[in-house]
Amino acid sequence: MALRTLISEERIQTRIREIAAQIDTDYPEGTLYLVCILKGACFFLADLARAVRRDTYLDFMSISSYGKEKTSSGEVKIIKDLDISLEGADVLIVEDIIDTGITLNYLTALLKTRRPKSVRVAALLDKTSRRVRPVDAAYVGFEIPDEFVVGYGLDFAEKYRNLREVCVLEPE
């Protein structure tokens, strides 16, 4: 398999600073609860959290990756839940990529049941053409075509997460 750079490290970092500035103007005073969806969003969370200029709480959630057939039910299994309460909180879910939308459609609804003040989504990447469930993402880094991408947290069988850019994985 060969890697073709789709989004360079510089473009990722520039876009994250833009999103962070937008977040700083959008939210009222107070602590922003950043909820990172493991493992793919770990670098996005790390860079975004340090780019915003406000108080944040960080927490992590791990969910199962069912086979694609099984996801059609829209069920997502929580492997590790949050440690902190979201009651009264401004919550921003930080995710690597929106593909079918099943994961974020489910998680947004789930976190809204925990009585937060607000719930929004920040996703680094968005494959809009693949959507089967609606996701209203307030912050999107890049819309990308329907190609399998790795790097900057995204993996193929756990590999390539530590690449500094987002690459398309393609046959030689």
Residues classed as catalytic: 99
Q: Which one of Mg ion, ligand IMP, none is in contact with 99 (Cβ closer than 5 to 8 A by kind)?
A: ligand IMP
- Out of 6, 36, 98, 166, the residue judged to bind ligand IMP by CB under 6 A: 98
* Partner from Mg ion, ligand IMP, none contacting 154, C-beta within 5 to 8 A by type: ligand IMP
CA dist list (Å): 122 to 66, 141, 143: 22, 8, 13
Query: Which residues of the shown chain bind Mg ion in the complex (CB under 5 A)?
Result: 40
Provide, rounded to whole angstroms, the least separation between the CB of residue 135 and ligand IMP.
Answer: 7
- Helices 42-51 and 9-26: angle between axes, nearest 10 degrees: 50
Smallest gap from residue 31 Cβ to ligand IMP (A): 25
Give the integer Cα–Cα distance in Å for 51 and 19. Answer: 9
Choice from 35, 94, 101, 140 touching ligand IMP (CB under 6 A): 101
96 binds ligand IMP (CB under 6 A): yes
Q: Is 103 in the site for ligand IMP (CB under 6 A)?
A: yes
Sign of CA dihedral 136, 137, 142, 145: negative
Neighbours of 120 (CB within 10 A): 18
Q: How many residues bind ligand IMP (CB under 6 A)?
A: 14
Burial 41-56 (b: 16+ CB within 10 A, else e): bbbbbebbbebbeeee
DSSP state of 44: H
> Applying CB under 6 A, which residues contact ligand IMP?
40, 95-103, 148-150, 154
